Structure 1
């Protein structure tokens, strides 16, 4: 992959917190920036996987991600209870079939694994769900729905804007020493600004996350994409990040309005002068 830093093609898992391990998607380039972050959540033998990204157009890298995850599960004698998807884009969903097939080949009872996301009728989503329908339980998620397994509790937060089916996931702490953690998918990235389809919905989602910062003062945020591989680029204080994101969007909106007003004034002057 020309022009790509090799470290993003073979990145090891990173222990982010006691409950969270980051598996890099090994899929840098293009809209994926330096690749996506996928998170294995929990402390027991049964874990929750948040996102399962593939490298579109590069089967070798997609298979490397699957192997990295499966090797870790095997080494630590773990299995999956859920795979939660933040949104339908291929770099967050595309490796679900590969992970399920590999687990099934190793003798895991994948029929008990719940693969869940917000309902969305897109072509490749329907194709993916068709492939996996006989290998697992599929589920459409509702806003504020609670997902639990033996050690972890997660709240589903509908946060459209980046795309219409986007979900963030709020991980509850296991003890008073831990913080709440929000997995932001592509709603909030480890970059100065994110991409969105609908600005109105996107701003509502940002304000929703901001309100969680007020409710949970020590809230941490785990990004769907980060600018580097180390822990400090994967997770950080949510309030400062979300405040910066909102300020950036408001500043750009103000710039657009100023340009439009200037254009309108020039138009009026031209009309008055008969130009």
Structure 2
């Protein structure tokens, strides 16, 4: 009263503080000891680790430059590179795939990039279009220069980027340096709350001024016409390019030459696969190839895309079976059941795909969620 502390207040505050501490300690102990909270906490923590691991890839181009594997020094490298990965057929570093398309592998083989990122020189004249630029490895630029010289290509008319992941656009600056100038570079840009589900913050050079890609936008060079087909899912800005003269599709990372691809939002990815299937069917018979972002080209395009769609549908049923048998489980438990012996580096992507499946299935009323990460089949 009148500014004085009531004599009973310190005792009450002490008791309340003690009770609050006891509640916090009890809750912490429950999270650690009780099975369900502990598993939920483990799944949430694993997802944060996966995101941190993905973010760490942002510094890879910088690491390559420090180690002398990328940047302006690339022109001093020998025009050859290693495109072989154990268990996969080797690709030639430079290979003509049609009268209009030459593949140049970006010399960055790995678990996710397979033989390396495929870049494509498109057209038949002295000015051509380059699709993707690799990640900036030093040995790529001499290969690109050799491919251009052998094809009679004197300059690039434009560079089209399938999406923003560093292994596809990290080499843009080294390409500019080799050409001695910047060329128009196009990439889809997506902004707004409708794209907020996409969380993967991959490397995107701040020094590159991208021109925006529009769905259906045409790019013409001697001997080739490319039509833009926006295909989100793998990333929000993913785009494919339909080569009208053949016809064929530059598939980016929507479809790979080996195995299945990672995606960030399943619903968008499935819609994009179905759009690709419809385009292939529209141009059949006569459709030629899928020029993939990684691995060899695909001759049986409709069959391959259908396999990708069915694979996702089968994985969804597999997730339901796991949840039915266990009654409930976290995304991490489901992923461990489906992928019991996958290496950790690959398991990050596998777990991410399982989570994307679960979020999609939740939207469609197939599963329900409690405590952020505890999933069960919806009744």
Q: TM-score scaled by structure 1?
A: 0.78
Query: What are the within-5 Å matches in structure 2 for residues 25-44 of structure 1?
Result: 25-44=106-125
Q: State yes or no: 1:153 paired with 2:229.
A: no
CA distance in 1, matches of 2:313, 2:320: 11
Q: Map of 1:87-236 to 2, 5 A cutoff?
A: 87-104=163-180, 110=181, 113-119=183-189, 124-129=203-208, 133=209, 138-173=210-245, 179-217=246-284, 218-219=286-287, 220-226=289-295, 233-236=296-299
Distance 1:96 1:170 in 2: 22
Q: 2:324 aligns with which of 258, 261, 264?
A: 261
What is the root-mean-square deviation in Å for CA atoms of aligned residues?
2.3
Q: CA deviation at 1:7?
A: 4.4
In the TM superposition, what is the alpha-carbon distance from 1:145 to its structure 2 partner?
1.2
What does residue 142 of structure 2 align with?
67
Q: What residue ranges of structure 1 are gaps of 5+ in the alignment?
A: 56-61, 105-109, 174-178, 227-232, 267-275
Could you state the TM-score of these two structures normalised by the residue count of structure 2?
0.57
Aligned residues: 232
Deviation at 1:67, TM superposition (A): 1.4
Unaligned runs of 5+ in 2: 1-80, 86-90, 192-200, 330-379
Q: Is the 8 A contact 1:16 1:235 kept in 2?
A: no
Does the 8 Å contact 1:70/1:103 carry over to 2? Answer: no
Question: Runs ≥4 in structure 1, deviation > 6 angstroms?
Answer: none
Q: Per-residue deviation at 1:124?
A: 3.6
Structure-2 residue corresponding to 1:52: 133
Q: For the Cα contact (< 8 Å) 1:11–1:26, is it kept in 2?
A: no
Name the stretch that deviates more: 185-194 or 201-210: 185-194
Larger-gyration structure (1/2)? 2
Structure 1 Cα separation of the partners of residues 83 and 112 of structure 2: 18
What is the CA–CA distance in structure 1 between the aligned matches of 2:179 and 2:142, rounded to whole Å?
10
